[in-house]
């Protein structure tokens, strides 16, 4: 065999090896520089490997964790939830979702405001084609007067000397408000995936017969982990289920 043929075969072999190499070989738990732009909710219609269609929602959260929800509206199949941590390739062009049991579940290629589901080799899936698009949702809860109108599906009914409400402050991650009976305050953290953590709720101690739900309200605040805003309505929810608190924006 001539030296030219040998070189040619070596080049072909090298090209094959490169084409088979997975971009996920060296994943890292370090946060890439572009991660702040990735944080948020991504949604898509999808078809799984069995040909069943459904809706997928992926929340990439500020602490580098994720929640992946799949539901099948046209079937009796139950909604599924997956949670865990996010790993990245060193260039931030690919990410992998890893369960809390350290099992890699899904792989994605990052494309601006989209996530393209790929296989371990970084190639687009042929059967389960999924492109998740980032939700350009309004996550601005700060700087507004939110009037409380509902607690655990029950309307708040007065009379009140001052209506129940809450205000979130931008500068120091604190909030304050009035329950209809007592003033209260606390701290919160949120990110652009719709996750929120409310803590350190403290209030004055006046008793008011017209607000028997006040203690439920404070408990519900601290139990809230998700929020949505639509048409000037703020809803706070637990991880699953209907909203536990509903507010409307009031403009003076």
pLDDT at 230 over 60: yes
First and final C-alpha spacing in the chain: 87
Average pLDDT of the chain, as a whole number: 85
pLDDT on residue 170: 81
* Greater model confidence, 9 or 170: 170
Please confirm whether the linkage preceding 159 is cis (ω < 30° from 0).
Answer: yes
pLDDT in tens, 71-105: 888 788 888 899 999 999 988 899 999 998 989 99
Closest CA to 165 of 217, 204, 223, 202: 217
For residue 4, what pLDDT band results from cuts at 50, 70 and 90? low
Residue in this structure with the two tokens 């608190």, named with its chain if needed: 245
Q: Is the pTM above the cut of 0.75?
A: no
Q: Are 141 and 166 in contact (CB under 8 A)?
A: no
Alpha helices in 21-90 (DSSP H): 35-38
* Greater model confidence, 247 or 208: 247
* Greater model confidence, 69 or 21: 69
Alpha-carbon distance of 84 to 99, in angstroms, equals 4
Residue-range domains of the chain with CATH? 23-134 (2.40.128.640), 145-250 (2.40.128.270)
pLDDT at 29 over 80: yes
Q: With pLDDT > 90 as the criterion, what percentage of the chain qualifies?
A: 40
pLDDT in tens, 172-190: 999 999 999 999 999 999 8
pLDDT at 15 over 90: no
pLDDT on residue 63: 84
pLDDT in tens, 124-164: 877 667 888 887 666 789 989 999 999 998 888 777 878 99
pLDDT on residue 146: 95
- The pLDDT of 214-240, averaged and rounded, is 90
């Amino acid at each position: 065999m001539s030296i030219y043929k040998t070189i040619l075969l070596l080049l072909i072999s090298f090209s094959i090896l490169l084409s088979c190499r997975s971009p996920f070989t060296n994943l890292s738990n370090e946060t890439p520089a572009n991660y702040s732009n990735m944080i948020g909710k991504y949604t898509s219609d999808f078809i799984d490997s069995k040909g069943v269609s459904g809706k997928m929602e992926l929340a990439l959260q500020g602490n580098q964790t994720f929640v992946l929800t799949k539901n099948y509206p046209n079937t009796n199949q139950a909604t599924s939830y997956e949670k865990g941590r996010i790993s990245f390739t060193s260039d931030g062009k690919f990410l992998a979702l890893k369960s809390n049991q350290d099992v890699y579940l899904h792989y994605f290629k990052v494309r601006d405001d989209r996530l393209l589901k790929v296989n371990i080799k970084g190639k687009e899936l042929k059967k389960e084609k999924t492109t998740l698009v980032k939700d350009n949702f309004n996550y601005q809860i700060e700087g507004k007067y939110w009037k409380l109108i509902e607690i655990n599906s029950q309307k708040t009914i007065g009379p009140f000397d001052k209506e129940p409400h809450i205000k979130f402050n931008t500068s120091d991650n604190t909030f304050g408000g009035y329950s209809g009976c007592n003033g209260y305050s606390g701290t919160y953290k949120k990110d652009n995936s719709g996750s929120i953590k409310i803590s350190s709720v403290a209030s004055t101690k006046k008793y008011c017969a017209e607000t028997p739900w006040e203690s439920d309200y404070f408990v519900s605040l601290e139990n809230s982990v998700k929020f949505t805003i639509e048409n000037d309505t703020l809803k706070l929810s637990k991880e699953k289920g209907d909203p536990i608190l509903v507010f409307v924006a009031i403009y003076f």
